[in-house]
């Protein structure tokens, strides 16, 4: 330890650090999608929203010098894209999955187009809070430099869980998702509930994007998301539309993403492609374990186009 190395401890530490660093975008996108899907709609366009959020956050932070304005801009951009999705889906006989795919391509394409001049400049980044002050091991301190967005995301999960269960608007979202007829009978507009739910979902996904460009990896480029948005949408399904499970699944994904590089760094070099694929293997494994031909997905909102 005298030379500042921690040997094999790097691996668990990197997985922990990775869970904290890499999971935040997954967390925000999956919580956002959780709200949208609970209201009875799937927004596959969140990959595009994530990338647009990352780009607009970086741009605004660069122009104004304030990363928090960037986060806000990312959220607003996300909410607008969500409104677009919900708006198109309110038209009769429109398939929400097809619209989602279109918006995914639209969002990433638009972000790449508008983001061209932003690749070179360096924008102001979000600050980190040092939770590792108690440790004199540099590696631990580095792993515990936590961004406040991560904490907000972690806090949001139980709040959403509670809100779905006990609040009035939580009940309304669930009603719209379980039975549109029931919601209508109660005198509520299903389309307006879904519009709001999709906008909130987009808002959160946009903020997830701002974390990518303003904190970790911390700059704007076109390979930034590499499919994290779409992974997070899939994550909602195996988290059974439960915000708390979404949180755990996001943390597991973040940790799994750190596994490949960490193992190589301690000398486990064989099969690194396999370890790099860890997050995807994890998805498959969970899907296989939890699926059953005898029953439908538990917890799936009845109005979702995939379960109908």
Partner 1 sequence: MDFGRISRRHLLQGGAALTLGTALGGRSAFAADTTIGFIYVGSRDDYGYNQAHAAGAAVLKKMPGLKVVEEEKVPETDAVEKTMESMINLDGASLLFPTSFGYYNPHMIKMANKFPKLRFEHCGGLWTDKDPKNAGSYFGYIDEAQFISGIVAGHTSKTSKLGFVAAKPIPQVLRNINAFTLGAKLANPKATTQVIFTGDWSMPVKEAEATNSLIDQGVDVLTCHVDGPKTMVENAARRGAMVCGYHVNQSALAPKAYLTGAEWNWEALYPKFIKMIAAGEAIPNFYRGGFKEEIVKQSPYGEAVSAEARKHADEMKAKLIAGTYTIFKGPIMDNKGKTVITAGTDRGQKDPELEKMDYLVEGVIGATS
86 binds partner 1 (CB under 8 A): no
Beta carbon nearer to partner 1, 180 or 262: 262
If one asks whether residue 136 binds partner 1 (CB under 8 A), the answer comes out as: no
| Whether 50 contacts 244, CB under 8 Å | no
Strands 145-147 and 128-130 turn out to be antiparallel
* Binding flag, residue 127, partner 1 (CB under 8 A): no
Does residue 253 have a cis peptide bond before it, meaning omega lies within 30 degrees of 0?
no
- Does 95 help bind partner 1 (rule: CB under 8 A)? no
Select the span of 27-35, 88-96, 210-218, 282-290 touching partner 1 (CB under 8 A). 210-218
Q: Please count the other Cβ atoms lying within 10 Å of the Cβ belonging to residue 87.
A: 15
Report residue 293: phi and psi, to 5°.
-75, -15
Beta carbon of residue 9, minimum distance to partner 1 (angstroms, whole number):
9
Q: Is residue 55 involved in binding partner 1 (CB under 8 A)?
A: no
Is there binding between residue 148 and partner 1 (CB under 8 A)?
no
**Furthest C-alpha separation in the chain:** 71
Indicate which single residue of 65, 127, 158, 217 sits in contact with partner 1 (rule: CB under 8 A). 217
Contact with partner 1 (CB under 8 A) among 179, 222, 286, 300: 222
Q: Say if residues 142 and 156 touch (Cβ distance below 8 Å).
A: no
Segment interacting with partner 1, rule: CB under 8 A, options 9-17, 63-71, 179-187, 284-292:
9-17
In terms of CB distance, is 128 or 154 closer to partner 1? 128
Question: By CB under 8 A, is residue 264 in contact with partner 1?
Answer: yes
The least distance separating partner 1 from the CB of residue 4, rounded to whole angstroms, comes to: 5
Residue number with CB closer to partner 1 (160 or 257)? 257
Pick the stretch among 109-117, 194-202, 233-241, 242-250 that binds partner 1 (CB under 8 A): 109-117
Q: CB nearer to partner 1: give 65 or 271.
A: 271
By the 10 Å C-beta count (0-12 exposed, 13-18 middle, 19+ buried), 266 is classed as middle
Minimum separation from the CB atom of position 212 to partner 1 (A)? 8
With CB under 8 A as the contact rule, the residue among 221, 280, 286, 297 that binds partner 1 is 221
Cβ within 8 Å of residue 199, ≥6 positions away: 79, 82, 83, 86
Could you say whether residue 103 binds partner 1 (CB under 8 A)? no
- Shortest gap between Cβ of 282 and partner 1 (angstroms)? 16
Q: Does residue 13 interact with partner 1 by CB under 8 A?
A: yes
Footprint on residues 22-41 left by partner 1 (CB under 8 A) = 22
Q: How many residues make contact with partner 1 (CB under 8 A)?
A: 44
Name the site residues for partner 1 (rule: CB under 8 A): 3-6, 10, 13-14, 17-18, 21-22, 112, 116-117, 119-120, 122, 139, 142-143, 216-219, 221-224, 226, 228, 257-258, 260-262, 264-267, 269-270, 272-273, 276
């Amino acid at each position: 330890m005298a030379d500042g190395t921690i040997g094999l401890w790097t691996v668990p530490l990197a997985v922990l650090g990775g869970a904290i660093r890499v999971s935040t975008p997954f967390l925000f996108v999956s919580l956002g999608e959780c709200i949208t899907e609970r209201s009875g709609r799937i927004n596959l366009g969140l990959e595009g929203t994530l990338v647009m959020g990352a780009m607009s956050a970086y741009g605004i932070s660069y122009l104004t010098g304030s990363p928090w304005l960037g986060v806000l801009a990312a959220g607003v951009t996300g909410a607008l894209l969500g409104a677009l999705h919900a708006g198109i889906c309110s038209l009769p006989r429109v398939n929400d999955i097809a619209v989602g795919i279109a918006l995914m391509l639209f969002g990433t394409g638009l972000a790449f187009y508008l983001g061209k001049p932003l690749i070179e400049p360096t924008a102001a980044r979000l600050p980190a809070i040092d939770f590792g002050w108690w440790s004199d091991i540099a590696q631990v301190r580095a792993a515990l430099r936590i961004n406040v967005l991560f904490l907000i995301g972690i806090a949001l999960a139980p709040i959403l869980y509670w809100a779905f269960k006990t609040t009035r608007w939580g009940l309304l979202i669930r009603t719209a998702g379980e039975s549109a007829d029931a919601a209508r009978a109660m005198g509520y507009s299903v389309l307006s509930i879904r519009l709001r739910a999709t906008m909130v979902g987009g808002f959160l996904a946009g903020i997830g994007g701002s974390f990518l460009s303003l904190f970790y990896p911390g700059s704007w480029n076109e390979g930034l998301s590499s499919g994290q948005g779409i992974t997070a949408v899939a994550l909602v399904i195996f988290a059974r539309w439960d915000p708390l499970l979404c949180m755990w699944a996001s943390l597991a994904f973040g940790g799994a993403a750190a596994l490949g590089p960490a193992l190589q760094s301690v000398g486990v070099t064989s099969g690194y492609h396999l370890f790099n694929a860890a997050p995807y293997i994890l998805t498959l494994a969970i899907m296989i374990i939890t699926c059953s031909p005898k029953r439908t997905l538990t917890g799936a909102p009845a109005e979702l186009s995939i379960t109908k």
